[in-house]
């Protein structure tokens, strides 16, 4: 028995595969299909999910942790009192990074799943849920680098899960899609969630899902659309009343903006009511500028505030999505068997599949239809924006060998030639996973190996992923790298006189076992309200 977990920026979701091979959603303790990825902590106990969201509205303070996935990949825990901006979350006197907070969310997901699976008699009733190592596949955005994947795995392990795989979210969505729809299709999965955006092109066959290319953005999602509305609320209230909304009302404004955004997916206009210092203000938001803009647009106090047309304000955000879609298409060379070697075009796709809650905004499909010149289905039978990723993750646990993903970012080592330093890639972006490569270099004695991730040859434009002191004698060194199916890296160095050594990188990233044990103790010691 294993579960699939969509660990989302905004919402998380769990699924399992039934005996007949069908993926099913595991409901939360609150009886819902998804859990908000929000943690609230009052100094004694943590609330996770719906309850944390409810708490933050009544007692916000500093104890709310949300959208933490955007920070994943930063260091985890530092001793109390250490002012590390990368570990900004404090719970019970300890500071956590995003993986620590994610582990608390995962703990709640695991607890709900184990309880439900026990009730369904899918696992033995006597099993103690805290001790039980539940196998899990966890999803990550396709653009996540190797460190972010490691951190996600770490969060899973600390939550008491046995992480059997990490799968890219759009790939998982494609698996759900492939199951419900006719196979043998080339598809683009456009996954716009709450905090992240991913676009992936896959070839689906009866037996396999093969990723051809992927692009993404770690800070582009529904939250940015919320902020457009929030900014307008602040501006307009100030213009109307001459007063500023107090900081303490921040979460309320956030909530009102979110509700208005959701309304604008169904209706052409929405009203935000807000009370500032006893003054009632109502703001009218429009989805788009009406063709016959005229008296329709007269608002009370008009002139003082700009009109709000959601789709116009969101143009920059949509452009960012569009550019990434075009970039992923241009990066895929269609094989000879499809009729010649050339970059892919929209016409080569059989379907554009929407995933992620933000695709409910009509402007998303509209933009895609405009650039692709094809119809985008808003609703695909049996495919749900919110649960497709978790179901795909559960399926992946069964069919790992049938899925082939790609290297998210090139990985290489820093080398020097003619006094010039540059990054020599070993594993190249978009190469099929698992990927491995070996290169030989001439090394000075006791050379230091610097491992970088990124698409540039300049170290400054890449991310440093690790450092290894080789303890070698002068001579040839063979560096081998392997990224497994989950996109997790192993590096070996074969150098005189020691022969082959598994790289033990001297940085926190690779001390996985120790870090997992200490984080797990912390996370398990937090009281979890239910």
Query: What's the CA gap between 462 and 455, in Å, rounded?
Result: 7
194 is a site residue for ligand ADP (CB under 6 A): yes
Complex with ligand ADP: residue 213 or 356, whichever CB lies closer: 356
* Closer residue to Mg ion, CB minimum distance, 193 or 487: 193
Q: According to the binding rule CB under 6 A, does residue 4 interact with ligand ADP?
A: no
What is the crossing angle of helices 169-180 and 388-398, to 10°? 80
Q: Using the 8-state DSSP alphabet, how is residue 510 labeled?
A: G
> Rule CB under 6 A: is residue 360 a binding residue for ligand ADP?
yes
Distance CA 134, CA 137 (A): 10
**String of contacts with ligand ADP for each residue 262-301, x by CB under 6 A:** x--x------------------------------------
Short-list 461, 395, 453, CA closest to 426 = 453
CB 192, min distance to Mg ion, A? 9
Piece in contact with ligand ADP (CB under 6 A), picked from 5-13, 42-50, 291-299, 508-516:
5-13
Cβ nearer to Mg ion, comparing 34 with 457: 34
Residue numbers 7-46 binding Mg ion by CB under 5 A:
8
Of residues 139-198, which lie at the interface with Mg ion (CB under 5 A)? 193
Taking the C-alpha atoms of residue 209 and residue 186, their distance in angstroms, rounded to an integer, is 10
Q: Could you say whether residue 218 binds Mg ion (CB under 5 A)?
A: no
Interaction of residue 222 with Mg ion, rule CB under 5 A: no
- Of the pair 151, 203, the CB lying nearest ligand ADP is at 151
Which of these segments, 4-12, 102-110, 113-121, 248-256, binds Mg ion (CB under 5 A)? 4-12
What are the distances in angstroms from CA 206 to CA 64, 349, 395?
45, 17, 14
Shortest CB 223 distance to ligand ADP, Å: 6
Please state the closest distance from residue 378 (CB atom) to ligand ADP, in A.
12
Smallest gap from residue 356 Cβ to Mg ion (A): 5
Query: From the CB of 69, what's the least distance to Mg ion, in Å?
Result: 9
Peptide bond into 105 cis (omega under 30): no
Max CA pair span of the chain: 84
* Cβ nearer to ligand ADP, comparing 253 with 411: 253
Say how far apart CA 96 and CA 102 lie, in whole Å. 10
Listed residue (46, 47, 50, 2) closest to 23, CA to CA: 2
Q: Which stretch binds ligand ADP (CB under 6 A): 259-267, 311-319, 409-417, 422-430?
A: 259-267
- Which residue is closest to ligand ADP by CB? 222
Size of interface with ligand ADP, in residues (CB under 6 A): 21
Closest CA to 359 of 222, 260, 256: 222
Give CA torsion, residues 506, 512, 518, 523, to 10 deg. 140
Among 10, 53, 171, 472, binds ligand ADP (CB under 6 A): 10
Task: Residue 195: name its binding partner from ligand ADP, Mg ion, none (Cβ under 5 to 8 Å by kind).
Answer: ligand ADP
Residues 6+ apart with CB under 8 A from 83: none
Residues 171-190 that bind ligand ADP (CB under 6 A): none
3-state secondary structure of 59: coil
487 binds, among Mg ion, ligand ADP, none (CB under 5 to 8 A by kind): none
Q: In angstroms, give the least distance from the CB of 60 to ligand ADP.
A: 19
Residue number with CB closer to ligand ADP (222 or 425): 222
Q: Should residue 357 be labelled a site residue for ligand ADP when binding is judged by CB under 6 A?
A: yes
CA distance 368 to 16: 32
- Which residue among 3, 4, 8, 87 contacts ligand ADP (CB under 6 A)? 8
451 phi/psi in degrees, rounded to 5: -105, 125
* Strand ranges for 94-150 from DSSP E: 94-96, 134-140
Match 């919402």 to its residue by tokens.
11
Residues listed for the chain:
530
* Sequence-separated (6 or more) residues with CB below 8 Å from residue 78: 84, 87, 95
- Three-state DSSP at 500 gives strand
Beta bridge partners of 467: 450
Question: How many residues of this chain bind Mg ion (CB under 5 A)?
Answer: 2
One residue of 23, 216, 222, 425 binding ligand ADP per CB under 6 A? 222
Q: Which residues would be at the binding site for Mg ion (CB under 5 A)?
A: 8, 193
Residues lying near ligand ADP in the complex (CB under 6 A) are found at 8-11, 193-196, 221-223, 258, 261-262, 265, 356-358, 360-361, 386
């Amino acid at each position: 028995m294993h579960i699939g977990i969509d660990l989302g920026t905004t919402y998380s979701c769990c699924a399992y595969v039934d005996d007949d091979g069908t993926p099913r959603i595991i409901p939360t303790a609150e009886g819902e299909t998804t859990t908000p990825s929000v943690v609230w902590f009052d100094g004694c106990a943590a609330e996770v999910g719906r309850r944390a969201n409810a708490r933050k509205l009544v007692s916000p303070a500093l104890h709310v942790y949300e959208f933490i996935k955007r920070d994943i990949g930063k260091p985890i825990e530092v001793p109390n009192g250490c002012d590390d901006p990368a570990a900004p979350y404090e719970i019970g006197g300890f500071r956590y990074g995003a993986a620590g907070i994610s582990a608390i969310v995962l703990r709640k997901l695991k607890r709900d799943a184990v309880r439900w699976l026990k009730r369904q008699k899918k696992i033995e009733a006597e099993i103690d849920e805290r001790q039980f190592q539940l196998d899990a596949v966890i999803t990550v955005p396709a653009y996540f680098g190797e460190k972010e994947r490691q951190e996600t795995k770490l969060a899973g392990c600390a939550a008491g899960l046995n992480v059997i795989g990490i799968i890219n979210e759009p790939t998982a969505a494609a698996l759900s899609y492939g199951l419900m729809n006719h196979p043998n299709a080339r598809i683009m999965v456009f996954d716009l969630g709450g905090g992240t955006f991913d676009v992936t092109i896959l070839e689906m066959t009866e037996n396999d899902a093969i990723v051809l290319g992927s692009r993404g953005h770690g800070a582009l999602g529904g939250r940015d659309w919320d902020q457009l509305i929030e900014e307008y609320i602040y501006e307009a209230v100030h213009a109307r009343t001459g007063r500023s909304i107090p900081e303490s009302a921040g979460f309320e404004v956030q909530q009102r903006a979110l509700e208005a955004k959701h309304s604008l997916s169904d209706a052409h206009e929405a009203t935000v009511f807000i009370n500032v210092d006893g003054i009632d203000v109502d703001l009218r938001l429009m989805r788009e500028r009406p063709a016959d803009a005229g008296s329709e647009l007269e608002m009370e106090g008009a002139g003082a505030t700009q009109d709000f047309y959601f789709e116009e304000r969101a143009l920059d955000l949509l452009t960012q999505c569009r550019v990434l879609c075009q970039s992923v298409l241009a990066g895929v060379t269609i094989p000879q068997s499809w009729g010649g070697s050339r970059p892919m075009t929209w016409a080569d796709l059989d379907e554009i599949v929407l995933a992620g809650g933000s695709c409910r905004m009509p402007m998303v499909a509209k933009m895609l239809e405009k650039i692709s010149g094809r119809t985008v289905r808003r609703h695909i039978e049996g495919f749900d924006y919110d649960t497709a990723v978790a179901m795909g993750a559960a399926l992946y646990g069964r069919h790992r060998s049938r899925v082939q993903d790609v290297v998210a970012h090139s990985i290489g080592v820093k080398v020097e030639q003619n006094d010039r330093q540059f990054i020599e890639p070993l594993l190249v972006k978009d190469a099929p996973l698992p990927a491995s490569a070996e290169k030989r270099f001439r090394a000075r004695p006791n050379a230091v190996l610097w491992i970088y991730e990124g698409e540039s040859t300049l170290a400054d434009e890449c991310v440093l992923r690790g450092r290894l002191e080789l303890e070698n004698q002068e001579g040839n060194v063979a560096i081998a790298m392997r990224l497994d199916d989950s996109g997790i890296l192993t590096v070996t160095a074969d150098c005189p006189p020691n022969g082959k050594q598994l790289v033990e990188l001297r940085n926190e990233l690779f001390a996985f076992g120790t870090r997992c044990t200490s984080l797990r103790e912390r996370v398990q010691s937090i009281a979890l309200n239910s």
